[in-house]
Amino acid sequence: MQSRTHTCDELRLSDCGKNVTLVGWYENIRRVSKNLCFLVLRDFYGVTQVVLETEEMIQCLDGVNNESTLQIEGVVRERSSKTDQLATGDIEVVPSHIEVLGKCIYNSLPFEIRQSKNADENVRLKYRYLDLRNPAVKDRILMRSRIVTELRQRMNDLDFVEVTTPILTCSSPEGARDYLVPARNHPGKFYALPQAPQQFKQILMASGFDRYFQIAPCFRDEDARADRSPGEFYQLDMEMAFASQEDVFEIIEKVLPPVFEKYGVFNRASAAPFTRIPYLESLAKYGTDKPDLRIDLIINDVTDCFAKCAFEPFHGSVIKAVVTDGYTETRKETDKMCADVETESGSKAYWFKVDENGNYVGGISKFLVDFKEEVDSLLGLKPGDFVGVTAGTRGAAQKSAGVLRRMLGMKSAGHYDKDCYEFCWIVDFPMYEIGEESGALEFCHNPFSMPQGGMKALESMNPLDILAYQYDLVCNGVELSSGAVRNHDPEIMVKAFDLVGLGEDDVKAKFPAMYNAFCYGAPPHAGIAPGVDRMVMLLAGEESIREIIPFPMNKQAQDIMMGAPAAVEPKQLDDVHIKINIDSKQ
């Protein structure tokens, strides 16, 4: 045990009388008199109380600041005032020798160690080495380690082979910006950090590997969100040869629920098979492709009925309604909820209630009185019901109704089963869509996916009607992963890219290795890659993904502890043939 005989979480009553050596951080001291002090020593494992009963021992700590590291030799004895709040609460150590191993030179700390989670986030990240000393913060990192170990073991037990794929590779269109690395020996050319091991794992399938996985680092130059760390993240990346969508679902449904039940803040998780919801149905019923199925409310289309009323925002709009019978908030609280819906979705929300006599009251009720029987029949309304309404283009109405559904569900008694993990598969994604910026046909989800119907669908159907063998794994309203049955046929691949304006030469140029590998006989294959960071965030019950990453960047993609990104020496730029040209007006 290095320079110690025991850890600070190890000693018990059975150890009384033993001579021991402890090491750790000087957390705090309580001075009772000039010859009696109580010191708390903390290490990675826990804390132990040390009793200083002589002036000589107390003087050993004169001028020594909190968070210095100490070595303490002494005798274990039974504690007179026991506490069951500590594993070592029955004993204390009386020291015979104290040595300062590493001195903290600062009289004050940026924050109290055990209160670090209350500090400003940038201060926490700057002094992350202090933040991680907080047992509550450290425990999240330990939890992450245990979860990753369990995921790895479960994949091994299912005969998956762990293969690490390259970090320096070529730029590939994966949907986000690449991080580029200049190639010193190849002037003007760049490596790219992988947004995902997508091409490598597909090439492994063409190479004869049957089941692959890795805890894969991925790099994307995209903005931070509460559930997304900028820069880098990790995923449980997997691929299976001679496999279908059903095979992938079966593996995930074996691996994840036991992990969620074992490590999660909630001990219930969906059993196999998970609910499957077609993409368009999910948008229609839940207003999102990431539905939180802990909420049992659904969205109703009321366009034909509500468009008849004189309420101007409904004219020419798609209109959606969400009904709940457990909502009892005040008018002020309801107005705030509607404002929150608009802030989050960009579209207004409206409402009305059914009073105890069955009459419509509040909100937009006066516009619906003339159609009351039709509205009652359409929505099955009864006294006490609350109805939230949204309107706009189909996409806008669905999005705002999805936000409204979530907020109403959380505020309505009996409609939100909070303490569980509800998984679902979103399936049947469109293969193509019209790009919002380009106005041209683009891949909707993943360009490497197999279209449902294969070549026949590509040749005979309207591209916007073609579905793909693509699927998302969603848990409690959080997208954990995207996956797909891959397009392993070179002819189908070329045709799929041709529809978005990329010819055979473009495909060969952009994906030369994968395309050529497929030309030598590739198996049908499928895969998925659940995000490890998001999984741990859900399991830990944290609202920010930065709480479960050892050294996260801040929201501006800066590592303020290390000072990254940072300027480099001119010679380093010369070595890689780069000149900096920054517009001073920016």
Q: What is the CATH number of the domain that holds 33?
A: 2.40.50.140
Residue 400 lies in a domain: yes
Average pLDDT value for residue range 425-429? 97
Helices (H) and strands (E) in the chain, counts: 17, 22
For the stretch 122-172, pLDDT in tens is: 999 999 999 999 999 999 999 999 999 999 999 999 999 999 999 999 887
For the purposes of burial, counting CB atoms within 10 Å of the CB of 229, is it exposed (0-12), middle (13-18) or buried (19 or more)? buried
Residue 221 lies in a domain: no
Residue 186 lies in a domain: no
Q: Total domain count for the chain? A: 2
For the stretch 344-360, pLDDT in tens is: 999 999 999 999 999 99
Domain boundary among 81, 102, 123: 102
Beta-bridge mates of residue 319: 391
Domain boundary among 102, 127, 162: 102
Residue 70 lies in a domain: yes
Separation of alpha carbons 482 and 290, rounded Å: 11
> What CATH number did the domain enclosing 308 receive?
3.30.1360.30
DSSP state, 178?
P
For the stretch 533-576, pLDDT in tens is: 999 999 999 989 999 999 999 989 999 999 999 999 999 999 99
Separation of alpha carbons 578 and 116, rounded Å: 41
566 three-state secondary structure:
coil
Beta-bridge mates of residue 410: none
Separation of alpha carbons 318 and 325, rounded Å: 24
Residue 267 predicted with pLDDT over 90: no
Residue 366 predicted with pLDDT over 60: yes
Backbone dihedral region of 242: left (phi > 0), alpha (psi from -120 to 50 degrees) or beta?
left
**Helix 532-540 / helix 135-157 crossing angle, nearest 10 deg:** 120
Domain boundary among 102, 132, 156: 102
DSSP 336-402: HHHHHHHHHHSS-EEEEEE-TTS-EESTTGGGTGGGHHHHHHHHT--TT-EEEEEEESHHHHHHHHH
CA atoms within 13 A on the CB side of 296: 10
Nearest residue to 265 (alpha-carbon basis) of 149, 148, 140: 140
Separation of alpha carbons 223 and 229, rounded Å: 8
CB neighbour list of residue 584: distance below 8 Å, 6 or more residues apart: none
**Which of the four pLDDT bands, split at 50, 70 and 90, describes residue 246?**
very high
Domain that holds residue 389: 295-411
Average pLDDT value for residue range 198-214? 97
How far is residue 62 from each of residues 56, 57, 97, 373, measured CA to CA in Å? 10, 10, 14, 83
Residue 39 lies in a domain: yes
Query: In terms of pTM, does the model score above 0.95?
Result: no
Residue 174 predicted with pLDDT over 70: no
Q: What pLDDT, on a 0 to 100 scale, did the predictor assign at position 585?
A: 61
Nearest residue to 428 (alpha-carbon basis) of 550, 283, 291: 283
Q: What is the rounded average pLDDT for all residues in the chain?
A: 94
Other residues' Cβ atoms within 10 Å of the Cβ of residue 192: 18
Residue 471 phi/psi, 5° resolution?
-155, 150
For the stretch 63-115, pLDDT in tens is: 999 999 999 999 999 999 999 999 999 999 999 999 999 999 999 999 999 99
**Which of the four pLDDT bands, split at 50, 70 and 90, describes residue 1?**
low
